[in-house]
Amino acid sequence: MQFSMLFFDIDGTLISPDHFTLSPRNRRALRMAQQAGIRLCIATGRCLGICPQEVLEFGFDYAITSNGAAIRDLKTGKQVDFTQLPAEDARAAYEVMKDRADFLEWFVDDGILLTRAHHDRIGSRELPPWHQRYFDQGNTPVVDKMEDFLDAGAPGLEKINLVCYDPALIADFRRELAALHRFDLSSSLGRGLEISAPGCTKGAAIRRLCALNGTDITATAAFGDAENDLEMLHTVGCGVAMGNAPQSVQAAADRVTARYDEDGVAAFIEGMLGE
């Protein structure tokens, strides 16, 4: 089947194990898709500011970021849709976590906002390499107290992000936050938690984007490997799980392709285009 639009998770799906680059084979396959008139969109839990530069410069049409909170037209640079995590909900989440979480990332306006106390811990804390590179650039916005940001209405807040925590603590947070019935909760790294506005998912963002640009959603496909990709895989015409995805994700997909480190994205596109 020929698709009019393809959606790609980034980590564990589209990019190489270094988390920064596109493999030559995946790059060739994406070019083939473009030449066939297929539009390309990334759909990631990352905010735009920590998306790989090589991906942003490739020529994708759209970026769905922060698990669906923001949609940007990468050709024009214009943000075409935004779902804010409301300040009152963010405050409720903060109250649950503030005494036990030593590093909270607040995805705001395509970047990562930190309190000054948490910013001072950057050098001593385990972080994913793409987060570390963002912080090393030295342009991280900082507030003295998170309460000040929340009192101002949490402008531009996309989601709250926890990374590299003990799984037991993540499980506690997830249980306590779920009991509030105020959030969409997901994870892509196993040792993290992503806290979004209710109903804010990659799948919901795909539905909004397709409505905005007149795309028949049944003529779309998406590629993913983690829990935060599940609704996306159910939303599109063809959900494709990577060979490295957990069995629960593979079972939820329409198709399973090769692993991300075996260029599973390229393998699917080549087969789709008869190459």
Q: Would you tell me how many other CB atoms lie within 10 Å of the CB of residue 121?
A: 13
Tell me: do 42 and 94 sit in the same domain: no
The band of 90, judged by pLDDT with boundaries at 50, 70 and 90, is very high
Q: Note the helical H segments in 8-63.
A: 24-35, 53-56
Q: Decide: pTM greater than 0.85.
A: yes
Average pLDDT over residues 155-164: 96
Average pLDDT over residues 61-65: 98
**Which range is least confidently modeled, 122-126, 148-152, 215-219?**
122-126
pLDDT tens column, 101-110:
999 999 999 9
Average pLDDT over residues 148-161: 97
Q: Pick the last residue of a domain from 130, 161, 196.
A: 196
pLDDT at 30: 98
- Cβ atoms of residues 180 and 106 within 8 Å: no
d(CA 33, CA 15): 17
Tell me: do 186 and 98 sit in the same domain: yes
- Cβ atoms of residues 184 and 196 within 8 Å: yes
The band of 139, judged by pLDDT with boundaries at 50, 70 and 90, is confident
Tell me: do 64 and 105 sit in the same domain: no
pLDDT at 1: 64
* Signed CA dihedral, 227, 228, 234, 239: sign only: negative
d(CA 67, CA 59): 21
pLDDT at 187: 79
pLDDT at 274: 84
- How many domains does the chain divide into? 2
- Cβ atoms of residues 107 and 168 within 8 Å: no
Average pLDDT over residues 105-118: 97
Per-range mean pLDDT, top range of 69-73, 130-134, 162-166: 69-73
Tell me: do 75 and 154 sit in the same domain: no
Tell me: do 213 and 249 sit in the same domain: yes
Tell me: do 99 and 156 sit in the same domain: yes
Give the distance, in angstroms, between the CA of residue 55 and the centroid of all CA atoms in the same chain: 14
d(CA 104, CA 235): 30
Tell me: do 181 and 211 sit in the same domain: no
- Cβ atoms of residues 49 and 260 within 8 Å: no
Tell me: do 140 and 184 sit in the same domain: yes
Judged against a pLDDT cut of 70, whether residue 120 lies above it is answered with yes
Tell me: do 121 and 100 sit in the same domain: yes
* Signed CA dihedral, 39, 42, 47, 50: sign only: negative
State percent of the chain over pLDDT 90.
Answer: 91
Tell me: do 110 and 188 sit in the same domain: yes
Residue pointed to by tokens 């399973």? 256
pLDDT at 275: 67
- Residue 173 sits in a domain of what CATH number? 3.30.1240.10
Average pLDDT over residues 53-58: 96
d(CA 78, CA 62): 10
Give the distance, in angstroms, between the CA of residue 147 and the centroid of all CA atoms in the same chain: 26
Q: Pick the last residue of a domain from 196, 214, 236.
A: 196
> Shortest CA distance to 118 belongs to which of 145, 89, 82?
145
The band of 245, judged by pLDDT with boundaries at 50, 70 and 90, is very high
pLDDT tens column, 168-216:
999 999 999 999 999 999 876 668 999 999 999 999 999 999 999 999 9
Range of the domain at 35: 5-83+201-272
d(CA 185, CA 182): 9
Tell me: do 144 and 213 sit in the same domain: no
Tell me whether strands 105-108 and 142-143 are parallel, antiparallel or unpaired.
unpaired
d(CA 180, CA 259): 37
Average pLDDT over residues 15-29: 96
Tell me: do 139 and 214 sit in the same domain: no
Q: Pick the last residue of a domain from 180, 196, 212.
A: 196
Q: How many CA atoms lie within 13 A of 28 on its CB side?
A: 10
- Residue 218 sits in a domain of what CATH number? 3.40.50.1000
* Element of type H or E holding 130: helix 129-136
